[in-house]
Chains A and B, each alone.
Chain A
Amino acid sequence: LAKTTQPISMDSYEGQEVNITCSHNNIATNDYITWYQQFPSQGPRFIIQGYKTKVTNEVASLFIPADRKSSTLSLPRVSLSDTAVYYCLRVGSSNTGKLIFGQGTTLQVKP
């Protein structure tokens, strides 16, 4: 199964850096790690995707160690508007285009 494991919830305060770690022990060679963000009553939004090492874009960074059995989404200086559910997914030959969503991590940013 192309499942991942991540914490159910996290709390943070405005201005802090938030790191959400995802475990994917059985990741296949061709799998990518993809993160989505979802606000209530909206569809998930693509945040970032990576294969190994580090990927950075305008909103987040993604760190994937050499063994690729885990990954960490890093959100710099979060604000209240970053309160959302964050999903870590494996996407690749193991599930060919099918996104398998888990429960995600509910991030609550406090003032």
Chain B
Amino acid sequence: ETGVTQTPRHLVMGMTNKKSLKCEQHLGHNAMYWYKQSAKKPLELMFVYNFKEQTENNSVPSRFSPECPNSSHLFLHLHTLQPEDSALYLCASSQDYTVSNQPQHFGDGTRLSIL
């Protein structure tokens, strides 16, 4: 149990569907992150929120839309995805994005498959 919970664990969707990934952390952290892990590729940072404000968008296509309603919850809204978007999407949290030596705690991810 990492304190970071992601739902759903698995998701299969068509290219025209709209779905959302959810992340919730119970660690009292103020920073939350979305990462993408494709097969045989390193983890790639997608978005960062610190105290509910988006601080990083790592050139992510607009078909991925993050939402952070409070410091404990993070969503990733998906719309008109492409087959190459199939990957493991990981959420993480840390105490404060600006305190760089604080470890990040990861959830177990959502395995997304685009048909």
Please report A residues at the B interface, Cβ cutoff 8 Å. Answer: 30, 32, 34, 41-46, 49, 91-93, 95-104
Contacts and interface: CB of A to CB of B under 8 A. Distances in A.
Contacts of B99: 97
Q: Which 7 A-B pairs have the closest CB atoms?
A: A43-B106, A101-B43, A46-B103, A97-B97, A101-B42, A32-B101, A42-B108
A41 B109 contact: yes
Interface range on chain B: under 10, 10 to 19, 20 to 34, or 35 or more? 20 to 34
Given A41-B111, A45-B2, A92 B106 contact: no
A96 B55 CA distance: 11
Contacts of B2: 43, 45
Given A97-B31, A97-B94, A103-B42, A49 B101 contact: yes
14 contacts: A34-B101, A41-B108, A41-B109, A41-B111, A44-B106, A45-B2, A46-B105, A92-B100, A92-B101, A97-B94, A98-B45, A99-B92, A101-B42, A101-B44
Main secondary structure of the interface of A (DSSP, over half): loop
A91 B106 contact: no
Contacts of B48: 97-98
Interface of B: 2, 4, 31, 42-45, 48, 56, 88, 90-92, 94, 97-109, 111
A96 B111 contact: no
A98 B56 contact: yes
A99 B43 contact: yes
Nearest to A47: B103
A43 B105 CA distance: 9
Contacts of B103: 34, 46, 49
Contact of B108 (A43, A93, A103): A43
Contacts of A43: 2, 4, 90-92, 106-109
